[in-house]
Amino acid sequence: MTASEVPLDNLRHLYETLVEVNPAGEVEPRMAESYEASADAKTWAFKIRKGIQFHNGKDMTPEDVLKTMQRHSDENSQSGALGIMRGIENMKVDGDNLIVELGVGNADLPYLMADYHLMIQPDGGMDNPGAGIGTGPYTLEVDEPGVRHGFTRNENYWDADNRGFTDYNEVLVLNDATARTAALQSGQVNMINRVDPKVAALLDRAPNLSVKSVSGRGHYVFIAHVDTAPFDNNDLRLALKYAINREEMVDKILRGYGSIGNDMPINASYPLFDASIPQREHSIEKAKEHYAKSGHDGSPIILRVADGAFPGAVEAASLFQESAKAAGIPLEIKREPNDGYWSEVWNVKPFCASYWGGRPVQDQMYSTAYLSSADWNDTRWKRPEFDAMLLEARAELDEAKRKAIYSKMGMMLHNEGGVILPMFNDFVDGVANNVGGWIKDPNAELMNNKAPIKCWVKDA
Amino acid sequence: MLMHPVLKLIAQRLALGLLLLFAASVLIFVGTSILPGDVAQSILGQSATPEALANMRRELGLNDPAVTRYFAWLGGVLQGDLGTALTNGRDIADSLGGRLKNTLFLAFWAAAISVPLAISLGLLAVRYKDRWPDKLISAVTLTTISIPEFMIGYILIYWVAIKWRLFPSVAIINDSMSLGEKLNAIAIPVMVLTLVVLAHMMRMTRAAILNVMQSAYIETAELKGLGMLKIIRKHAFPNAIAPIVNVVMLNLAYLVVGVVVVEVVFAYPGMGQYLVDHVSKRDVPVVQASGLIFAAVYIGLNLVADIVSILANPRLRHPK
């Protein structure tokens, strides 16, 4: 698999979280046996499962869970989960329970607790977070970063009926796409991630394997800062949104391994998605109409893009440029180096290509990138009424009401947002035919990186 | 004190090599410092928050001025301390040692096959000059050198690994493997490297020997009634050794420092792959250390070539 996904895969072998998001998008208890919320969704109690041991033989206790959470909420930490933890006012252990108190009610807290950063470690990993000691179905055997990682089955695993079927798993780091497909074809490996969509259909024809794709929540975007000219003009944004040819992009960039987007970061893979929101069509007429209405002076509109923005980003930008030209919009592509793209261009320049991996729930997606105060508000979308709706939905435990609020928020972005979202990409993995237990999991690649711990290899 | 002129020449070459290495270290440091984006940003990736970034920059000492960092780095290198990798906190010298060993292992086997093969093919080509063996050898080796190495790699992977399933396509080796298993794993990359370096050495051998063959003493040998192969072996080859050693050393240097692409294609755990991985992770200390080692290997092998050609040349060995 590619290097960027290897740490996640390693984590899944060694550690577990309080709860997990299952393939159906529901929360499934793991280290917590059950959980419940107070009526205002402000106080949550997670009942910690008993009789689970860490790899070092120590019992896993509610204190370990508490310490883990505290480590990730330390302001001096470099934890990627710090943003999640900030909403928590107080945590304490009460008997077998971990009590979490929030400043503002959040019906989605269990989803947040499923974040892969929040892996439970003995004593919270305070002394040595990299020790590799967890409660997971495998223990660390070989650790050669950038080359390979080997894992042997944890014979003491608490959920051995469902996970950890193979005796030994080896994860090889193969960054080169062709090296990955060749390794799968020649039978050296059983599964690979990130099959290049360009070759996926061809690879699928090989007799000993199949290509598995699952539509996820990840999406490719062109993002404009709504507070910077000329993108502060909504007619210009709408002109660009109508000018982009979504079908063509799914067809040519994703080779069909994806679905068209609707200028909002939410699709049917999210719970509480409103399918009745109309799909924006590709319309040169409407693009022309809005462009004329925007009164843009005809100077080139600079779109910044790099190969690394998303696979096929430069090609997608060219397609965009062509269809914009048909509507008389002077889009100009400026190619940027991959080096430093995420620090110098993305979230800095007013109009560029990017991608989002998606989040398990709408609340998290919106809080990460569309809340006024979000660090990664990469479209500079700052609307108090939008923020208010987000907070209202967050504390609302009635699902029908939440769905209605989310639908309104989605429409708002669809009509006024700075995000031009042509496509959602599928996760495309390659799996040998002798692998058993494969299921579709829209959360991430390789069954949310759990394929190695949930699958088995059939005898030839 | 009077030094033997050869010793003096060698000492000069060595001093020059060291100076060059020092200059290379400055270039490497400057080059890596002016890259856009910094390591804290790329470790944390798109999901970096400003606080986490600031914490990490402080911890990694990225806030110090460049000159301070250069001398701190150079001082460490001189004491054999290459620092620790920013991305995984491991000692670079340790990881690099293993990687260098692997790269040298691959280079050794590629050289062990390609050097004798190239030289004998060169001799053969001279023996059958302008006849079909000569033309065939030239045509084949020039074809393989003209194809980019990753392409040769992919072609061999397709046939040898996928169609015939003779050797694996992923050349990951580790210490617990036996020599046989290791050789099996690196079979395809060795083939690729051999094909890539063959033509250069073969052509040079052929040209150097042909050059010598024009000399009067070869004619004398011929008139003495010596066989063609024997003339080449005993009279032409020793006199053509200097240019051949030069080209062999250049290719050896290539086998060590130029295998980046091949290592990536075969996921071989050598220096090249290590460098590429850490360039993309913006792990500057690793990139600097790898760059320095590559420079040292390159300069070192060229130094050897120089010295060998000095020693092989009687006029330099016994100056008047």
Largest interatomic CA distance in chain A: 70
Last residue of a domain, one of A125, A143, A162: A125
Indicate whether A9 belongs to any domain. no
Q: How many helices (H) and strands (E) does chain A have?
A: 15, 18
Q: Nearest-CA residue of chain B relative to A374?
A: B49
ipTM for the assembly: 0.71
Which structure tokens are listed for B104?
């040298």
Alpha helices in A220-361, H assignment, sequence order: 234-243, 246-252, 284-294, 313-326
- Does residue A127 or residue A153 have the better pLDDT? A153
Q: Number of H helices and number of E strands within chain B?
A: 16, 0
pLDDT tens column, A211-237: 999 988 999 999 999 999 899 999 999
Q: Are residues A290 and A417 in the same domain?
A: yes
* CA B108 vs CA A106, A240, A269, B280, B306: distances in Å: 62, 58, 53, 28, 21
Phi, psi for residue A272 in degrees, rounded to 5: 65, 30
A371 in a structural domain: yes
A182 is a domain residue: no
Report the number of distinct structural domains present in chain A. Answer: 2
Does A306 fall in a domain?
yes
Considering only residues B175 and A437, tell me which one the structure prediction assigns the higher pLDDT: A437
Inform me whether the pLDDT recorded for A14 exceeds 90.
yes
Using the predicted structure, report yes or no on whether residue A101 has a pLDDT greater than 80: yes
B165 to chain A: which residues are within 8 Å by CB?
186-187
3-state secondary structure of A217: strand
Give pTM, 2 decimals. 0.79
Mean pLDDT value of segment B285-291: 87
Instruction: Map tokens 């979000």 to a residue.
Output: A374
Q: Which residues of B touch A142 (CB under 8 A)?
A: 174
Chain B nearest-CA residue for A75: B51
Sign of CA dihedral A95, A96, A98, A99: negative
Give the pLDDT score at B38: 67
pLDDT tens for B44-69 read: 665 566 777 777 777 777 777 778 88
pLDDT digits (tens, 9 = 90+) for B142-168: 898 899 888 999 999 999 988 888 888
Q: Flag whether residue B274 sits within 8 Å of chain A, measured between CB atoms.
A: yes
Statement to judge: residues A409 and A289 lie in one domain = yes
Q: Do A176 and B51 touch (CB under 8 A)?
A: no
pLDDT at residue A79 in the model: 72
The answer to whether residues A407 and A264 belong to one domain is yes
Say whether A179 and B265 touch across the interface (CB within 8 A).
yes
CA Rg, chain A, in Å? 23
The phi, psi pair for B308, rounded to 5°, reads -60, -40
Whether residue A384 is found in the same domain as residue A284: yes
DSSP β-bridge partners for residue A21: A27
**pLDDT confidence of residue B53:** 76
- A314: nearest Cα among A333, A340, A341, A331: A333
Report yes or no: A373 at the B interface, CB cutoff 8 Å.
no
Q: Residue A78: pLDDT above 80? A: no
pLDDT of the residue at B59: 73
Q: Residue A309 belongs to a domain with what CATH number?
A: 3.10.105.10
Confidence class of residue A357 from pLDDT cuts 50, 70 and 90? confident
If one compares A251 and A459, the residue with the highest pLDDT of the two is A251
In terms of Cα–Cα distance, which of B305, B306, B287 is closest to B295?
A: B287
| A378 shares a domain with A232 | yes
- Exposed / middle / buried, residue A299 (Cβ in 10 Å: 0-12, 13-18, 19+): exposed
Determine contact: A202 vs chain B, CB below 8 A: no
Confidence grade of residue B2 (pLDDT, cut at 50, 70, 90) = low
pLDDT tens by residue, A406-419? 999 999 999 999 99
Least CB–CB distance from B169: residue in A82, A148, A182: A182
pLDDT at position A39, please?
87
Rounded mean pLDDT of A334-344? Answer: 84
Pair A327, A243: CB distance under 8 Å: yes
Average pLDDT over residues A172-199: 89
Domains of chain B by range and CATH?
Answer: 105-271 (1.10.3720.10)
Query: Which one of A89, A110, A125 terminates a domain?
Result: A125
Check whether A46 has a pLDDT greater than 90: yes
- The domain boundary residue, chosen from A63, A96, A125: A125
Using CA coordinates, name the residue in chain B closest to A171: B172
Flag whether residue A342 sits within 8 Å of chain B, measured between CB atoms. Answer: yes
Distance from CA of A353 to the nearest CA of B (A): 13
CATH number at residue A75: 3.90.76.10
Q: Looking at the domain assignment, is residue A435 inside a domain? A: no
Tokens coding A430: 């390659």
Written as six digits, the tokens of B264 are 């990536």
Distance CA A339, CA A337 (A): 5
Residue A47 lies in a domain: yes
Residue A458 lies in a domain: no
d(CA A19, CA A32): 6
Domain that holds residue A24: 17-125
